[in-house]
Structure formats: C-alpha cells, structure tokens
Amino acid sequence: MRNQKDRVIRNANVPFSSAGFLPLAFLGLGIYRAWIEIVFVGSFVDFPSAHFATRDLFDIVMSIVLLGCALGARKVSPFYSKHAAWVLCGTLLTLATVCTFSSLFYPGIAEHLAIVASIAGGIGIALMILIWSELYGCMNPMRVAFYYSGSIIVGALMIYIYRGFAIPWLFVMTSILPVFSLLCAARSFNVLPGDNLPSTTWAKFSVPWKIIILMAIYAFAYGLLEKYLYAGTFGPHSALGTVAAALVVMVGVVLQGKNFDFGTIYRTALPLMAGALIIPSALGLFDSFWGNFCATGGYTAFSILIMLILANICYRYGVSAIWLFGIERGVRALFMMLGRYVDAGIDAIAPSSLNGDLVSSGVALLAIIGGTVILFSERELASRWGAKFLYAENGSDPIEKRHALVDRCDAISKEKGLSAREQEVLLLLAQHKTISDIENELIVANGTVKAHIRHIYQKLDIHSREELFEILGTQACEEKQTANDEDCF
C-alpha cells in the first residue's frame, strides 16, 4: 500500500509520468499572471481606476512587501505551512479585483477605489509570488523549466479566453483567479515528497549579487521600452512574443527529455535569445509588430533563465526562496519602474532636434550589454553568482554540512571531468538517493541513471557507494545501503 502511494506521488511530481498524466496544478502560476494583466498591467479593459497611476502604487507596495519578507525571511519562512499568509493573499487579491471592477460601475469614486485596489493588490500579489517561488524552489531545473514555461503559456491562453467575456462575467471569472491559483499551489505542495518541501532552517550566506544586478539591469532596460509594448493589442503576459519564447523552452524540454542540457541553454540559447530579441527593439523598432514581439519574447526568455538560476540555487543549496526571490522580485519591480521614469524624463528634457526614443534605446542597449557581460562571467547554471556561504567554525549545522557536500561534489566533478548531468547524479548519490529517487528527480529512465552511475564510478575509479562516501567524506546511510534489487547494477 505504501509503495502504491509513493508511486502516485512520484507520478504526480513529474511532467511525463507513465500514465501520461500532466499535473496541471503546477501550472497554476500562469493563473496569477493572467490576473495581473487583466486587473493591473496592460489590461484590455479601460478601468477608470487605471487613470490614477495605480500601476506605480501597485509596484511600490509590492516591492516593499517583497523586500520586507526577504528581510524577515527567517521569521516568516516557509510560507507553505503558514495558513494566514494564504488566507491574507486570497482575501486581498479578491478585494483588489472587486475594487478595480467597481470603478466601472462607480466612476465617481474611482480614485478611492484605485488606492485600495493598488495597496491590496500589491500586498496580495507579493505573497502570491513568494508562495509560487517557494514551490518552484523545491524542484530540480528540469521541472522548473517545463512548469514555468508551461505556466506562461497557460496564463496567455486564459487571457485570450477572458477577452471574450462580457464585463459582468469577466468580473466574476476574474475574482476567482487568485483563489484558484492558491488551490493549485496547495495541491502542488501536497504532492511533493516530504524531503523536497521547504526547510525551516538555513545557514548564513551572502546575497548572490551578480544575479540580482543582472535582473535589475534587464528590468531597467525593459522599463525604458515598456510604453511601446502596451500600445499593441495584447499585454505583456499575453503578447505573441511572450508565448513564443515560453513555447520554445517547453518544446525543448519535451523533445530532448533526458538530453536536455541546462548548461547549453544557459551558455547559448536563452542568453542569445534575450539579447537578440531585446536589442532590435532597443534600436528603434518600437512601433512595429516585430519590435513588440522581440521585446516581449526576449524579456520572457530572460525571465525564464532567471527563474531557473534562482530556483536552482534554492534547490541545490537549500537557500530560502522567500529571502532570495523576495530580494530579486522586489529589486526587479523597482528598477522596471525606474526605467519608466527615466524614459519619461528623457522625453521631457530631450531637445526637439534629438529624438528621445533614440536616447532611450541607446541607454537600453548599454544596459543590455552590461547585463550580458555579467551573465557570461559565470560558467554554469549551478554557479553561486557571487554568493558566499558563511560556515560556523564547527560546521555542525545540517544546512552547512549540505553546502559543504555540494562544494565537495563540485570539486570532484571538475577534477574528474564529469559532465553536467553526471554532476547532478553525483550530488544525488551523495545525498543517499536511491536509483528510483534519482530517476524521478531527473525525469530519466532507470537504465539511464545506471549508465550515469557506471560512468561516474569509472571516472572516479571506484566500485561501490561505500567508496564514493569515503571520497566525499560522508557517512553511509544504512537504511539506503541495504542490498536490494533497486540499487543493483
């Protein structure tokens, strides 16, 4: 009975189970993305409340909450077990929806409704972002790439459907989106294995400043171009460029499967896509279809890359997702807003003989080049991006031991010339994972896992797990070292 239950949980936790079942709950992130566009950012509805600078207030409140949660991460984390955070999130986002739509029926008090909606929405969406970030930080990069890109597509499809609703139905259907997204998140946490759930303890570590600065630079560049992106038919979360970029990543995961090499994506595909798609818009193609397509597609591709990097840091090193994503998303929103204000300032002070759009595009181009330099300064997806872990002198903390184990595996992998996938398998072996565990973690066949293990043993010139643990300086786990068919090669 227990084996049957474990099998169900594993099947629910992988994109492509033996039953062909896709756990749609993991795509619920796209639901709140749809809510954001419908209610606040680039909406296809002309809300009277939108004329009172609600976007800026929304972003400011959201950033304050995100950064505040990051500062207090040790006290408030993890969110998955904090029912109050979930209830507050759903309540505030529903309130924001009601206030925003009410401005259509009561335009005389639209300004007051806008203030309430922006504050409630900013707080609620910050909590929603952190809840989903915490979930994605519990999964390996393969799942994150698939589910996050899939969520982007789901969000866009929902917006396309919602565009056909009459206002009363749109009001009702939009109001249920926040709660629906939270239910999906709850379901997703429930099917995660217990040892993959967010930890309640963390070691001391510094901020991965490179990735934070990188995202800030690209967000600033996007903010410079943002006014042109909302001039088209679709908003930022439903634009064709957004869907195309997400579809490329999702199809890549589906088609390549076990051969999906994140090192290749990190070093070539996503960075090149981000640069190649944003730069044309930065060169002045703002008012064209392709300018919008390039800008939204490039920023989406880069957002996927950032999600992969941050989620991998949380998953690999046990970093608090509330802390890391709180900093990154808070800084991202502030720098995007800064980009909007700089663009407006350039238009205001630029002399008539100088095209303000060209100045903005030049600034955006310089920002993108600077960001790309930082991006290529790191070698792999699994890099720390400037973070340093501060161990206690005795190194007795379990999280500190985990970081030390990761360091040891990285050193051995480089010394012995292990591939990126073999490095992942080595770390899982070091964590006393069985072949079945590794099979489900990496979404590969049983034979593939055994082949990777054989290659690792050959390169390390060892013949058993016991020898591997000796090299790593760890203790063997008796429960998982008992002889059984699953661990036989």
pLDDT at 178 over 90: yes
More confidently predicted of 246 and 418: 246
Q: Highest mean pLDDT: which of 3-17, 145-159, 353-367?
A: 145-159
What percent of the chain is modeled with pLDDT above 70? 72
Contacts of 20-26 with CB under 8 Å at 24 or more apart are 23/188, 23/191, 24/184, 25/183, 25/184, 25/185, 25/187, 25/188, 25/191, 26/135, 26/143, 26/147, 26/150, 26/151, 26/184, 26/188
Non-local (6+) Cβ contacts of 407 within 8 A are: none
Q: Which of 74-83, 90-99, 209-218, 362-371 has the lowest mean pLDDT?
A: 362-371
CA distances from 461 to 26, 199, 432, 449, 477 (A): 40, 35, 19, 18, 21
More confidently predicted of 155 and 208: 155
Query: What is the average pLDDT across 326-342?
Result: 92
pLDDT tens-digit readout, 297-332:
878 888 888 898 899 888 877 788 999 999 999 999
Q: Say how far apart CA 23 and CA 11 lie, in whole Å.
A: 9
* φ, ψ of residue 77 in degrees (nearest 5): -80, 155
The residue type found at 191 is V
What percent of the chain is modeled with pLDDT above 90? 30
Do the beta carbons of residue 328 and residue 306 sit within 8 Å? yes
pLDDT tens-digit readout, 13-64:
334 333 334 578 899 999 999 999 999 888 889 898 877 778 889 999 999 9
Q: How many CB atoms lie within 10 A of CB 301?
A: 29
pLDDT at 354 over 60: no
More confidently predicted of 241 and 378: 241
Which residue shows structure tokens 């941050």?
310
Residue 21 has what pLDDT?
40
Q: Say how far apart CA 89 and CA 126 lie, in whole Å.
A: 8
3-state secondary structure the chain: CHHHHHHHHHHHCCCCCCCCCCCHHHHCHHHHHHHHHHHCCCCCCCCHHHHHCHHHHHHHHHHHHHHHHHHCHHHHCCHHHCHHHHHHHHHHHHHHHHHHHHHHHCHHHHHHHHHHHHHHHHHHHHHHHHHHHHHHCCCCHHHHHHHHHHHHHHHHHHHHHHCCCCHHHHHHHHHCHHHHHHHHHHHHHHHCCHHHCCCCCCCEECCCHHHHHHHHHHHHHHHHHHHHHCCCCCCCCCCHHHHHHHHHHHHHHHHHHHHCCHHHHHHHHHHHHHHHHHHHHHCCCCCCHHHHHHHHHHHHHHHHHHHHHHHHHHHHHCCCHHHHHHHHHHHHHHHHHHHHHHHHHHHHHCCCCCCHHHHHHHHHHHHHHHHHHHHCCCCCCCCCCCCCEECCCCCCCHHHHHHHHHHHHHHHHHHHCCCHHHHHHHHHHHCCCCHHHHHHHHCCCHHHHHHHHHHHHHHHCCCCHHHHHHHHCCCCCHHHCCCCHHHCC
Q: Say how far apart CA 312 and CA 375 lie, in whole Å.
A: 16
pLDDT tens-digit readout, 380-438:
666 667 666 655 444 445 556 666 777 787 778 778 788 777 777 888 888 777 887 77
Query: What is the average pLDDT across 463-484?
Result: 61
Query: What is the average pLDDT across 80-105?
Result: 94
Residue 62 has what pLDDT?
96
Q: Highest mean pLDDT: which of 16-20, 242-246, 281-285, 363-367?
A: 242-246
Residue 483 has what pLDDT?
37
The interaxial angle of helices 54-71 and 321-349, nearest 10 deg, is 150
The residue type found at 120 is A
Residue 37 has what pLDDT?
93
Residue 5 has what pLDDT?
41
More confidently predicted of 363 and 129: 129
More confidently predicted of 104 and 261: 104
Domains of the chain from N-terminus onward: 10-375 (1.20.1250), 393-487 (3.40.50.2300)
Residue 142 has what pLDDT?
81
Which sign does the torsion angle of CA 46, 47, 53, 54 carry? negative
Residue 327 has what pLDDT?
94
Do the beta carbons of residue 354 and residue 277 sit within 8 Å? no
Q: Say how far apart CA 336 and CA 104 lie, in whole Å.
A: 28
| pTM given for the model | 0.80
Q: Highest mean pLDDT: which of 68-77, 191-200, 433-442?
A: 68-77
More confidently predicted of 370 and 160: 160
User: Taking all residues of the chain, what is their mean pLDDT, rounded to a whole number?
Assistant: 78
| Cis peptide bond prior to 78, omega within 30° of 0 | yes
pLDDT tens-digit readout, 361-372:
677 677 777 776
Q: Which of 16-25, 66-75, 346-355 has the lowest mean pLDDT?
A: 16-25
Do the beta carbons of residue 31 and residue 90 sit within 8 Å? no
More confidently predicted of 117 and 374: 117
pLDDT at 157 over 90: yes
